[in-house]
Amino acid sequence: MKDINAHSIQTLEKFISDSGRICIITHMKPDGDAIGSSAALYHFLRMCGKGSVKIILNDRHPDYLSFITDGIPREDLIVHKELPAEAETCLSDCDLIFCLDFNAFHRTDRLEGALTASKADKILIDHHLNPDREAFDLAFSETDISSASELLFHILMETRRIAHDATSLPSATATALMAGMTTDTNNFANSVFPSTFRMASSLLAAGVDRDMILSRLYNQYSENRLRLMGHMMKDLLHITEDGVAYIVLDRKTQEEYCISEGDTEGFVNMPLSIAEVRMSLLLKEDEDRIRVSIRSKKGTSANTCARKYFNGGGHENAAGGKLMIPADLESVEAASGYIEEYTHKYLTEDEKNM
């Protein structure tokens, strides 16, 4: 891990020591890794004696992740969508900003302006490709790693306070790190490295209750989620001759099943269990855009496809993006034709020229 060395850790510790007010931010529509790494860092900084630490979210996180943030006072977790003035004031007044699980300011959506304008020092902790390093005063960017939560774990282990002893981590930090890593690997199903298992082993030995984490992550969904899953797989799943599986989930269907943010987590992975499927896409209509999740099997790049045709990017086999209405598509009804046209072009023409 090239960015984790004696100098970078010393620099990190000095930034923390010299700061009076700290903010932690992550990407829009925060997932388990974003919330896990943010909560983990929050509890670590509080253990270090930092009295003013705020987590600033662009959007409220899904309810199923609430167990990760239960120990954080309400006044320390601010959602811009609900309290925009307070969120922007915190970013303006703080001394230090930790940027977790995103590689460029635009990934924070409505927080981008306040983040760009803030005079605070900014530290990046991220695992995505192509980080905008020049925007940060210190960058920990590693791509051969499962998650931002795993990267944060290895950083904290190098600090003098933790000194390679996971039992020295606050219990809430250890739990949040394990939860974040678990969600981003789909419970060790993808993006797993030897370091990922070393992290998990250390946290288990330190007393993390993984059974509780798995129960809260995967056994607390609504009945409607299961019914929607059946409807999606039976009626909405399409598979092209190129081996592309896709589902378009419009707002009407989401409302019919009373779907909340996070209820479709993991659905995009399911079609990959079909032998002939090379790539799976889940498109969700959301206000003026369609959010795109892409997963692929080894040998097919979800990242390249997302960058070329879906205004996004990510990891080799797990990526995301968006299609804007009406800039990219006239309506959600046009999504199926767009997917079939451009995934066919990607798999039959672009891949051959790579």
Return the structure tokens found at 92: 């303006």
343 pLDDT higher than 80: yes
pLDDT at 286 over 80: yes
- Tokens of residue 329, six digits: 């598509």
238-239 and 244-249 as β-strands: parallel, antiparallel, unpaired? Answer: antiparallel
- Does residue 91 have a pLDDT over 80? yes
37-66 burial, b at 16+ Cβ within 10 Å, e below that, comes to bbbbbbbbbbeeebebbbbbbbbbbbebbe
pLDDT for 287 equals 80
Q: Which residue has the tokens 């190098």?
A: 158
Q: Residue 351 above 80 pLDDT?
A: no
Listed residue (239, 236, 347) closest to 300, CA to CA: 347
In this prediction, residues 170-199 reach a mean pLDDT of 96
Longest dimension (CA), the chain: 58
Across the range 219-238, mean pLDDT stands at 94
Does the pLDDT of residue 237 top 90, yes or no? yes
The per-residue pLDDT of the chain, averaged, comes to 95
Give residue-wise pLDDT tens across range 71-85: 999 999 999 999 999
At 315 the pLDDT is 87
pLDDT at 353 over 80: no
For 50-62, the pLDDT digits (tens) are 999 999 999 999 9
pLDDT, one tens digit per residue, over 103-120 is 999 999 999 999 999 999
Of 165 and 130, which is predicted with more confidence?
165
Please report the domains of the chain, with CATH numbers, ordered by start residue: 6-218 (3.90.1640.10), 223-353 (3.10.310.30)
Query: What pTM value is reported for the model?
Result: 0.91
Residue 354, pLDDT > 70, answer no
The percentage of the chain sitting over the pLDDT mark of 70, rounded to a whole number, equals: 99
**CA torsion sign, 81 to 323 to 286 to 268?**
negative
Q: Is the peptide bond before 326 cis (omega within 30 degrees of 0)?
A: yes
Strand, helix or coil for residue 62: coil
What's the average model confidence in pLDDT over 22-47?
A: 97
- Ramachandran sector of residue 78 (left: φ over 0; alpha: ψ -120 to 50; beta: rest): beta
- pLDDT beyond 70 at 63: yes
pLDDT digits (tens, 9 = 90+) for 153-175: 999 999 999 999 999 999 999 99
pLDDT tier for residue 261 given thresholds of 50, 70 and 90? confident
User: What's the pLDDT tens digit per position in 194-225?
Assistant: 999 999 999 999 999 999 999 999 998 889 99
The H-assigned helical ranges of 194-284 are 194-205, 210-218, 223-231, 251-256
Predicted pLDDT of residue 262: 83
Rounded average pLDDT over 5-15:
98
pLDDT over 90 (residue 308): yes
User: For the packed helices 32-47 and 171-184, what is the interaxial angle rounded to 10 degrees?
Assistant: 160
**pLDDT at residue 352 above 70?**
no
On the question of pLDDT at 248 being above 70, the answer is yes
Flag whether pLDDT at 40 surpasses 70. yes
